[in-house]
Amino acid sequence: MRLVHLSDLHLGFRQYQRLTPTGINQREADVAATVSRAVAQIIECAPDLIVVGGDVFHTVRPSNPAILHAFRTFSALRDRLPDTPVVMVAGNHDAPRTSETGCILRLFREIGVYVADAKAELFTFAGRSLAVLAVPDVPGIDRPPFVPPEGFDHTVLLLHGEIAGMLPAHAAPADRAAIEIDPAELHAEQWSYVALGHYHVYREVATRAYYSGSLDYTSSNPWGELREEREQRIPGKGFIEHDLVSGAHRFHPVAPSRPLLDLEPIDASGMGAAEVDSALRARVDSAIGGIDDRVVRVTVRNIARHIVRELSHDALREYRRRATHFHLDARRPEVLARRGKGEGAPGRRATLPELVAERLNERPLPPGVDREALVSLGLRYLQQAEDAAMAALPVLEG
């Protein structure tokens, strides 16, 4: 009895301003193509059960192209594997915030997909002696005890949520957080398998309990995911194949449609603009596979704001033209970053602009947000607020 576990498809995900020749956001098209490749691989696996751990769409109100692509994709899966049940739960990106709004995932019931979108549901398949308890991520849901039902040879718990204490700092949510579950609540050792959705990196959290990870880089911090995948020697994104009888377990990588490239960081301490330009050029020219049509980041540490302004705009425009997206992550000198924390000039308190700049420099940013531009905008707004406050003061005569 083999199952396939996939999650976090995030169809309809949009990022950057590049469009395809047909006018679709390039990253949206990339994610759709990745999902299609994953489904083709799943069909080749021909499993006995497919479970989808939520966040099928990136938003509660996905675009028409995203809905159409998803419908065609799951229809192909049902047509090619007609005897394989497909069970799906809603994730925090799928589930509406109000009960009056219907969940888009109900559409898939029309093609024979078993969907839990508003409450926990137990789906049973007597001919396979199989039961799947599917628990969606819905605000205020009445969550049942995670205990397998009796009378079945194979039991699967499928849920979307955050296992407390399991996610690293870089995975901090940028939107409504998923439901949080204590690891002991899972009773993982009692289930044949526990299929989790929400976290975007493949990870084992308990005995036979896994996050499959996402199928593409669709989180607010893909660079943190890349780092974790390198450190854990995980071969990127993909889905899980697991045998409920033998326990045989395999992670199937799925190649992303558009690779992400995190270039070697630059320490700009003591460098002028020309030296930083030269270092940037060296990083770009030595990139394996080049930067063309890729999502690229280069981090430059210890670089003063005036040096960033003096960098070659022609070179940066070239990099941005060649790459699908080129992100220069400029970070100010560490000695300035430490001011306001009791270090730096003795007896000197950090000014309000320095504190604002410090917080903005330390804040994790979504891909595509230029840190230097964000800091500059924040300081400009602060100055405007101070100017407005001064203008409102009464004029003293005397």
Contacts 24+ apart (CB under 8 A), 360-363: 361/331, 361/332, 361/337, 362/337
Average pLDDT of the segment spanning 311-327: 95
Give residue 138's pLDDT band: very low, low, confident or very high (50, 70, 90).
Answer: confident
Residue 374 has pLDDT above 90, yes or no: no
Helix (H) or strand (E) holding 314: helix 313-322
Distance CA 117, CA 91 (A): 8
Structure tokens at 311: 């960098």
8 Å CB contact between 337 and 304: no
- Residue 314 amino acid letter: D
Q: What is the pTM of this model?
A: 0.80
Task: Give the mean model confidence (pLDDT) for residues 207-223.
Answer: 93
On the 0-12 / 13-18 / 19+ scale of CB atoms within 10 A, 30 is buried
Residue 355, pLDDT score = 77
Instruction: Please report the pLDDT score of residue 386 as a whole number.
Output: 60
Between the CA atoms of 144, 146, 150 and 154, what dihedral angle is there, to the nearest 10 degrees? Answer: 130
Task: Give the pLDDT confidence score for residue 396 in this predicted structure.
Answer: 34
Contact by Cβ (8 Å): 113, 120: no
- Closest to 110 in 3D by CA, of 65, 74, 80: 74
343, amino acid identity: E
HEC readout, 284-299: HHCCCCCCCCCEEEEE
The yes-or-no verdict on residue 146 having pLDDT over 90 is yes
pLDDT at 398: 33
Could you tell me if 2 and 23 are in contact, meaning their C-beta atoms sit under 8 angstroms apart? no
Three-state secondary structure call for residue 377: helix
| 233-237, 241-245, 354-358: range with lowest mean pLDDT | 354-358
Q: Does 339 have pLDDT greater than 50?
A: no
> CA 198 → CA 82, 341, 358, 395, distances in Å?
27, 35, 31, 57
Query: DSSP of 99-132, one letter per residue?
Result: TTSPPGGGGGGGGT-EEESSS-EEEEEGGGTEEE
The pLDDT of 149-156, averaged and rounded, is: 97
Quick one: tokens of 346?
């003795």
**CATH number of the structural domain 2-253:** 3.60.21.10
pLDDT band at 310 (very low <50, low <70, confident <90, very high): very high
- DSSP conformation letters of 252-286: EE---SS-EEEPPPEE-TT--HHHHHHHHHHHHHT
Structure tokens at 117: 């979108």
Q: pLDDT, tens digit, for every residue of 159-201? A: 999 988 877 766 655 445 567 888 889 999 999 999 999 999 9
Q: For residue 333, what are the contacts with CB-CB under 8 A and spacing of at least 6?
A: 269, 302, 303, 304
pLDDT tens per residue across span 8-55: 999 999 998 899 999 999 999 999 999 999 999 999 999 999 999 999
Q: Mean pLDDT highest for which of 123-137, 324-338, 374-388? A: 123-137
Query: What pLDDT, on the 0 to 100 scale, is given for residue 371?
Result: 75
Contacts of 253 (CB under 8 A, 6+ apart): 235, 236, 237, 238
- Those residues whose C-beta lies under 8 Å from the C-beta of residue 373, and which sit 6 or more positions away, are none
Domain coordinates in residue numbering, the chain? 2-253, 260-388
